[in-house]
């Protein structure tokens, strides 16, 4: 199915980009900011990315359960990655968070939601990214 292939590849590309960019940092705050920035940038850096992000967000639930399960694994991989960064930040006393899994879920949701409201914010992409990176870090501090 074309939709499943598109979603599968979109998640693969985005996850690889996030992992590669986050690995450049050792501090949890920097890693979290990089993850949030990469999620937002991946969805908004050009018109094709904007359209692709819309399809990924809106069409995912149209997949049949077996196909959706494959995409769920990739969504879970992103959640696991962000949760790991939050837990590491708690361990290193950079973050204070009693619910790392749910904080990670909230951070991902926050970052992914920017593509739906970016036009209302009316700021350059770099400014939007910096603002939402700040919000994400504030959520776990």
What was the pLDDT predicted at 1?
A: 81
- Tell me whether residue 86 is exposed, middle or buried, using C-beta atoms within 10 angstroms of its C-beta: 0 to 12, 13 to 18, 19 or more: buried
CA distance linking residue 138 with residue 124, whole number of Å: 21
Compute the distance between CA of residue 67 and CA of residue 113 in angstroms, rounded to an integer.
23
Predicted confidence at residue 60, as pLDDT, reads 87
pLDDT at 82 over 90: yes
**pLDDT-derived band of residue 95, with 50, 70 and 90 as boundaries?**
very high
Q: What is the CATH number of the domain that holds 92?
A: 1.10.357.10
Number of folded domains that form the chain: 1
Q: Mean pLDDT throughout 55-68?
A: 91
Range of the domain at 62: 2-140
Q: Say what the pLDDT of residue 102 is.
A: 99
35 near 29, Cβ under 8 Å?
A: no
The pLDDT > 90 percentage for the chain reads 95
- The owner of tokens 């939709």 is 3
């Amino acid at each position: 199915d074309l939709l499943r292939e598109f979603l599968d590849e979109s998640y693969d590309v985005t996850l690889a980009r996030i992992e590669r960019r986050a690995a450049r940092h050792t501090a949890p705050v920097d890693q979290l900011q990089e993850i949030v920035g990469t999620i937002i940038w991946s969805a908004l850096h050009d018109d094709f990315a904007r359209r692709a992000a819309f399809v990924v967000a809106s069409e995912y639930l149209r997949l049949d359960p077996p196909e959706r399960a494959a995409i769920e694994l990739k969504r879970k991989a992103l959640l696991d990655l962000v949760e790991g960064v939050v837990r590491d930040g708690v361990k290193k006393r950079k973050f204070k968070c009693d619910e790392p899994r749910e904080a990670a879920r909230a951070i991902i949701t926050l970052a992914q939601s920017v593509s739906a409201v970016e036009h209302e914010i009316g700021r350059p992409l770099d400014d939007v990214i910096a603002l939402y990176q700040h919000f994400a870090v504030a959520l776990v501090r």
